[in-house]
Structure 1
Amino acid sequence: MVKMAIGDLAFLIPLLPALAFVLTFFLGKKLPNGGAIIPIAAIATSFVISLLITLNLLQNPGEVITQSYSWFAMFNLGILVDPLAAVMLTMVTFVSLLIHIYSVGYMSHDRSQSRYFAETALFTASMLSLILSDNILQLFISWELVGVCSYLLIGFWYQKPAAATAAKKAFLTTRIGDVMFLAGIVILFSDLFKIFNGTIPDGVFIMRFDEIFAHIPELAAMNANILGMEVSHITIITLLFFGGAVGKSGQFPLHVWLPDAMEGPTTVSALIHAATMVTAGVYLVARTFPMFIAAPDTLLVVAYLGAFTAIFAATMGIVMNDLKRVLAYSTISQLGYMMLGLGIGAAIGAEAVGMSIFHLINHAFFKALLFLCAGSVIHAVGTHDMRQLGGVAKVMPITAATMIIAALSLAGFGIPGTIFGTSGFFSKDAIIEGAYLFGESSGMWIPYVLSIVAALLTSIYIFRLIFMTFFGKPRTDYGGHESHASMTIPLSILALLALFFGGLTSRRFNDFVSETFGNNFVNMNIPELAEMGGYHLAAHVGHEPVLILWMPLIVAVAGLLIAYLIYGLKVVNMDNLVSRNNPVYKLLYNRYYQNAIFTDFISVKIIYEGFAFAVRSIDRGFDWVVNWISDVTIETGDSLRQFQTGVIQTYATAVVAGVGLLIVLIKVIMEVI
Structure 2
Amino acid sequence: MAVENLAFLIPVLPALAFVLTFFLGKKLPTGGAIIPIAAIATSFVISLLITLNLLANPEEVVSQSYSWFAMLNIGILVDPLAAVMLTMVTFVSLLIHIYSTGYMSHDKAPSRYFAETALFTASMLGLILSDNILQLFICWELVGVCSYLLIGFWFQKPSAATAAKKAFLTTRIGDVMFLTGIIVLFSDLYKIFNGTIPDGVFILRFDEIFAHISDIAAINANIFGMEVSHITLITLLFFGGAVGKSGQFPLHVWLPDAMEGPTTVSALIHAATMVTAGVYLVARTFPMFIAAPDSLMVVAYVGAFTALFAGTMGIVMNDLKRVLAYSTISQLGYMMLGLGVGAAVGSEAVGIALFHLINHAFFKALLFLCAGSVIHAVGTHDMRQLGGVAKVMPITAITMIIASLALTGMGIPGTSIGTSGFFSKDAIIESAYLFGETTGSWIPYLLSIAAALLTSIYIFRLIFMTFYGKPRTDYGGHESPASMTIPLSILALFALVFGGLTSKTFNTFVSETFVNNFVNMDISSLATLGGYHLAEHAGEEPILILWLPLIMALAGLVITFLIYGLQIVNMDSIVSRNNPIYKLLYNRYYQNAIFTNFVSVKIIYEGFAFAGRAVDRGFDWIVKWFSDVTLEAGESLRQFQTGAVQNYATAVITGVSLLIILVKVVMEVL
What TM bracket, shorter-length normalisation? over 0.9
Bigger CA drift: 474-483 or 592-601?
592-601
For 2:21, the equivalent position in structure 1 comes to 24
For 1:404, the equivalent position in structure 2 comes to 401
Q: Which of 127, 139, 151 is residue 136 of structure 2 equivalent to? A: 139
Unaligned runs of 5+ in 2: none
- 1:503 matched to 2:500? The reply is yes
**Matching of residues 256-655 of structure 1 within 5 Å:** 256-539=253-536, 541-639=538-636, 641=638
- 1:94 matched to 2:91? The reply is yes
Cα distance in 2 between the residues matched to 1:61 and 1:670 = 84
CA gap of 1:491–1:624, structure 2 versus 1, over 3 A, is same
- 1:218 matched to 2:215? The reply is yes
Matching residue's letter, 1:213: F
Matching residue's letter, 2:131: D
For 2:3, the equivalent position in structure 1 comes to 6
Matching residue's letter, 2:87: T
Bigger CA drift: 190-199 or 386-395?
190-199
For 1:172, the equivalent position in structure 2 comes to 169
Residue deviations 1:550-575 (CA, integer Å, cap 9, x gap): 00001111111111111111111111
Matching residue's letter, 1:279: T
Cα distance in 2 between the residues matched to 1:645 and 1:516 = 89
Cα distance in 2 between the residues matched to 1:359 and 1:489 = 24
Q: Is the 8 A contact 1:430 1:541 kept in 2?
A: no
Matching residue's letter, 2:224: L
Cα distance in 2 between the residues matched to 1:27 and 1:264 = 23
Cα distance in 1 between the residues matched to 2:646 and 2:124 = 87
Cα distance in 2 between the residues matched to 1:43 and 1:116 = 15
Unaligned runs of 5+ in 1: none
Cα distance in 2 between the residues matched to 1:184 and 1:123 = 25
- Counterpart secondary structure, 1:224: strand
Q: Which of 191, 196, 200 is residue 197 of structure 2 equivalent to? A: 200
CA gap of 1:358–1:661, structure 2 versus 1, over 3 A, is closer
Q: Which of 103, 114, 134 is residue 106 of structure 1 equivalent to? A: 103
Residue deviations 1:571-608 (CA, integer Å, cap 9, x gap): 11111211111111111111111111111111111111
Cα distance in 2 between the residues matched to 1:55 and 1:635 = 84
Bigger CA drift: 61-70 or 655-664?
655-664
For 1:160, the equivalent position in structure 2 comes to 157
> What's the TM-score, normalizing by structure 1?
0.96
CA gap of 1:403–1:671, structure 2 versus 1, over 3 A, is closer
Cα distance in 1 between the residues matched to 2:111 and 2:657 = 88
- 1:188 matched to 2:185? The reply is yes
Q: Is the 8 A contact 1:96 1:271 kept in 2?
A: yes
CA gap of 1:362–1:630, structure 2 versus 1, over 3 A, is same
Residue deviations 1:431-471 (CA, integer Å, cap 9, x gap): 01110110011110100011011111110000110001001
Q: Is the 8 A contact 1:348 1:540 kept in 2?
A: no
- Counterpart secondary structure, 1:517: coil
The CA deviation at 1:612 is 1.1
Q: Is the 8 A contact 1:404 1:466 kept in 2?
A: yes
Q: Percent identity?
A: 85
Cα distance in 2 between the residues matched to 1:234 and 1:54 = 32
Bigger CA drift: 618-627 or 413-422?
618-627
The CA deviation at 1:375 is 0.1
Cα distance in 1 between the residues matched to 2:653 and 2:209 = 80
Matching residue's letter, 1:565: L
- 1:128 matched to 2:125? The reply is yes
- 1:65 matched to 2:58? The reply is no
CA gap of 1:640–1:74, structure 2 versus 1, over 3 A, is closer
The CA deviation at 1:634 is 3.1
Matching residue's letter, 2:365: A
Matching residue's letter, 1:341: G
The CA deviation at 1:660 is 10
Cα distance in 2 between the residues matched to 1:146 and 1:662 = 69
Cα distance in 1 between the residues matched to 2:144 and 2:158 = 20
The CA deviation at 1:665 is 10
The CA deviation at 1:249 is 0.5
Q: Is the 8 A contact 1:355 1:430 kept in 2?
A: yes
CA gap of 1:540–1:208, structure 2 versus 1, over 3 A, is farther
- 1:117 matched to 2:114? The reply is yes
CA gap of 1:540–1:608, structure 2 versus 1, over 3 A, is farther
Cα distance in 1 between the residues matched to 2:650 and 2:299 = 86
For 2:39, the equivalent position in structure 1 comes to 42
Cα distance in 2 between the residues matched to 1:209 and 1:663 = 71
Cα distance in 1 between the residues matched to 2:656 and 2:27 = 88
> What's the TM-score, normalizing by structure 2?
0.96
Residue deviations 1:610-636 (CA, integer Å, cap 9, x gap): 111111111111111222232333344
Cα distance in 2 between the residues matched to 1:535 and 1:116 = 47
Q: Which of 149, 155, 172 is residue 146 of structure 2 equivalent to? A: 149
Matching residue's letter, 2:89: V
- Counterpart secondary structure, 1:16: helix
Matching residue's letter, 1:533: G
Bigger CA drift: 480-489 or 139-148?
139-148
Cα distance in 2 between the residues matched to 1:75 and 1:106 = 43
- Counterpart secondary structure, 2:68: strand
Matching residue's letter, 2:258: A
Matching residue's letter, 1:333: S
The CA deviation at 1:37 is 1.0
The CA deviation at 1:355 is 0.1
Cα distance in 1 between the residues matched to 2:651 and 2:194 = 69
The CA deviation at 1:539 is 3.0
Cα distance in 2 between the residues matched to 1:39 and 1:665 = 81
Cα distance in 2 between the residues matched to 1:434 and 1:490 = 33
The CA deviation at 1:247 is 0.7
Residue deviations 1:149-175 (CA, integer Å, cap 9, x gap): 111111111111111111111111111
Matching residue's letter, 2:511: S
Count how many residue pairs are aligned between Structure 1 and Structure 2: 670
- Counterpart secondary structure, 1:314: helix
The CA deviation at 1:651 is 7.8
